Each structure stands twice: as structure tokens, then as C-alpha cells.
């Protein structure tokens, strides 16, 4: 690894469980590192040579698994994939026992789990970094990639108007918490009963007092989108909620991101989605496949941002 011209990773918490471990200044430094990783990948080649990672996945994955595996390999490391989609963590043996075993063999744990508590147990019992690759509460890797992508597109995140329309889920939580840290103006529109966690909203509102951002929780999609430069949505039914599909489809019927909703946005507004997307449900086919859609730029940037996460936590 050539260390003469690299952006220095900032020292952060040993784990990335929520994204709220990192303050605004640390997030700013982290995004700078991610930009350098993307612009100059050869500078970081071999940075994780001799490092091994366990990838624990309780849920299916395309972007998260591929970008972590490719990212680790491109940095010179190696990974072991542990498929827990059939036998979930804690069923065959306790999570503490899994964590205490893994810390003796690998350098870090990347976990995609159903319950945030599973991540917390892994982190509490392993003296190696634990990275949240998605839980029921947060999706920090995605949100960091999203705001990295927005900075590439618009040049400045402070005051940027981002409208999230749909379920107040894990992705929504991370957009609120990371958006607050970069000083964005994040508006969330959800139907009654599907709002983001009030504690996460309150934490984001505390942070924007420092960053001069803004957090709004609304009912009306049109109000949320008015003048927005980015419109974001996610699936109405997350993995593990399949039995609620019909109920959710009815509740979110007026929350589809389509051309009519886009008419309220800024002229240069772009569309974002963490994928996989369901055309005809949370987003119309016309919007999803239009030139204003940057969903695959988001997907690409997962690779660069996750490389930066690994470099930061293992510096």
C-alpha cells in the first residue's frame, strides 16, 4: 500500500452498529476517505493483506454481499461466508459463543441480521470490529453510500433537501441519522402507524442543532417532496414482514413515487432507491427507469464506501 498520498482514516468507534457512533466531523472525514478510495483504488491495494473477515448473513443479499466480498478482496483481505438464512444466529449455539469463537480466527465480522440485538450481542462478546450490513433497525452502509452519492451529484450536502416517501424502516432510520450528521434537510412522509422510531428522530433532531440541518416527519408525500432535490423510497414490505404485504399495500397506496409526485420536486431532482425495487408498487416503472434515477450509482458506491468503512475500523 502506498501511504504517501492517501486520505488518513479517522479514528472512530471499534464497531459500526448504527452509524450514530460517529459525529458530524468524523462523518465528514469518512466521506473524504471514501472519495479518495474511489478515485485512487490502487493506493489502498493490499491495505488489508493478511486480514480475514466473517460474513454472517441471515437474509438474502446481492449488493451487500458482493460489495463486501469484492471490497475485502481488492484490499488484499479474504472472507468466509456463513450462511444463516436457514439456521439463524442463536439457534444452533448462542450468539456470545459464536462471537468468542470468531474473534480467535478472523479480524472482523460483517453481519446482515434480522434483529439489531444480534449485532449488539456480537459486538459485546467479540474484541474485533462488528459491521452492521443491515438489521431491522438500521442500514448504515447504505445511508453512507447514499449521501456519498448525493455529494458526488450536488457537490454539497449541507441544506440539501432529501425527501423519503414510504415506510419508516431501517433505511429511513439511517437516512435520518446520517442526514442529520451531514447537515441535510431530510423530510420523511409516512402513513399513520408507519412512522420512524421517535427516539431515532429525536436523536437526529439533536444533531441538526449542531450541523444546521433539518428533520421533518410528515404525512403528505407532496409536502415532503416539494422543492426536494432527491426523492428516496424503499420497499413497503421488508424481509420478515411478508405476512403484512396486503395490509401494507393498502396503507401505502398513496405513497408511490411516480411522475405526478415528481412534479412537486426541484427541476434537477433525482430518484433514489436502495434496491431491490418493485416497479408498480413503491415506484412507477417510468420513474425507476428514467434518466433521473441514480439507483445504480448508489449501488456502485456501496463498494467504495464499504472499503472505506473497513479501512477506518481496521486502521
Residues 6+ apart with CB under 8 A from 258: 283, 284, 286, 287
DSSP annotation of 231:
E
Question: What pLDDT shows up at residue 1?
Answer: 37
User: 213 is written with which cell numbers?
Assistant: 440541518
Residues 6+ apart with CB under 8 A from 84: 56, 57, 58
Question: What pLDDT shows up at residue 11?
Answer: 40
Domains of the chain, CATH where assigned: 24-138+301-313 (3.40.50.1370), 140-298 (3.40.50.1370)
Going from the C-alpha of 155 to that of each of 83, 147, 151, 159, 303, the distances in angstroms are 39, 11, 5, 11, 20
Model pLDDT for residues 170-182, shown as the tens digit of each residue: 999 999 999 999 9
Residue 4 has pLDDT above 50, yes or no: no
Closest CA to 107 of 88, 131, 124: 131
Number of continuous H segments (helices) and E segments (strands) in the chain: 12, 9
User: Which element (helix H / strand E) includes 224?
Assistant: helix 221-225
Closest CA to 6 of 36, 35, 26, 51: 36
For residue 80, the SS3 value is strand
Question: What pLDDT shows up at residue 315?
Answer: 77
Residue 28 has pLDDT above 80, yes or no: yes
Catalytic residue list: 112, 139, 142, 234, 274, 302
Question: What pLDDT shows up at residue 285?
Answer: 98
Residue 3 has pLDDT above 60, yes or no: no
Mean pLDDT of 227-240: 92
pTM, 2 dp? 0.94
In this structure, how many other beta carbons lie within 10 angstroms of the beta carbon of residue 46?
14
Mean pLDDT of 141-157: 98
Percent of the chain's residues with pLDDT above 70 = 96
Mean pLDDT of 23-38: 98
Residue 159 has pLDDT above 60, yes or no: yes
For residue 230, the SS3 value is strand
Q: Are 137 and 112 in contact (CB under 8 A)?
A: no
Model pLDDT for residues 256-294, shown as the tens digit of each residue: 999 999 999 999 999 999 999 999 999 999 999 999 999
Model pLDDT for residues 83-123, shown as the tens digit of each residue: 999 989 999 999 999 999 999 999 999 999 999 999 999 99
* 162: phi then psi, degrees, rounded to nearest 5: -120, 120
Percent of the chain's residues with pLDDT above 90 = 92
**Is the bond into 276 cis (omega within 30 degrees of 0)?**
yes
Question: What pLDDT shows up at residue 13?
Answer: 55
Amino acid at each position: 500500500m502506498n501511504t504517501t498520498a492517501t486520505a488518513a482514516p479517522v479514528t472512530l468507534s471499534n464497531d459500526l452498529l448504527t452509524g450514530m457512533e460517529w459525529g458530524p466531523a468524523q462523518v465528514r472525514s469518512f466521506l473524504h476517505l471514501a472519495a479518495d478510495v474511489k478515485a485512487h483504488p490502487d493506493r489502498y491495494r493490499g491495505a488489508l493483506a493478511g486480514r480475514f473477515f466473517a460474513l454472517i448473513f441471515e437474509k438474502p443479499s446481492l449488493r451487500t454481499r458482493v460489495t463486501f466480498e469484492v471490497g475485502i478482496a481488492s484490499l488484499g483481505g479474504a472472507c468466509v461466508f456463513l450462511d444463516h438464512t436457514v439456521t439463524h444466529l442463536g439457534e444452533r449455539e448462542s450468539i456470545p459463543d459464536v462471537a468468542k469463537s470468531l474473534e480467535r480466527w478472523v479480524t472482523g465480522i460483517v453481519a446482515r441480521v434480522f434483529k439489531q440485538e444480534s449485532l449488539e450481542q456480537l459486538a459485546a462478546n467479540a474484541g474485533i470490529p462488528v459491521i452492521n450490513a443491515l438489521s431491522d433497525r438500521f442500514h448504515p452502509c447504505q445511508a453512507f453510500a447514499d449521501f456519498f452519492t448525493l455529494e458526488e451529484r450536488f457537490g454539497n450536502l449541507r441544506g440539501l433537501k432529501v425527501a423519503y416517501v414510504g415506510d419508516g424502516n431501517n433505511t429511513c432510520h439511517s437516512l435520518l441519522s446520517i442526514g442529520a450528521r451531514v447537515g441535510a434537510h431530510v423530510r420523511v412522509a409516512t402513513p399513520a402507524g408507519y412512522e420512524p422510531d421517535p427516539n431515532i428522530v429525536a436523536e437526529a433532531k439533536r444533531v441538526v442543532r449542531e450541523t444546521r440541518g433539518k428533520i421533518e416527519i410528515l404525512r403528505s408525500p407532496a409536502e415532503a417532496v416539494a422543492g426536494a432535490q432527491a426523492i428516496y423510497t424503499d420497499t413497503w414490505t421488508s424481509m420478515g414482514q411478508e405476512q403484512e404485504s396486503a395490509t401494507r399495500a393498502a396503507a401505502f397506496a398513496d405513497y408511490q413515487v411516480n411522475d405526478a409526485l415528481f412534479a412537486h420536486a426541484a427541476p434537477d431532482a433525482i430518484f433514489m432507491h436502495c434496491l431491490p425495487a418493485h416497479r408498480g408498487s413503491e415506484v412507477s416503472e417510468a420513474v425507476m427507469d428514467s434518466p433521473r434515477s441514480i439507483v445504480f450509482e448508489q449501488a456502485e458506491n456501496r463498494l467504495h464506501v464499504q472499503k472505506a468503512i473497513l479501512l477506518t475500523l481496521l486502521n
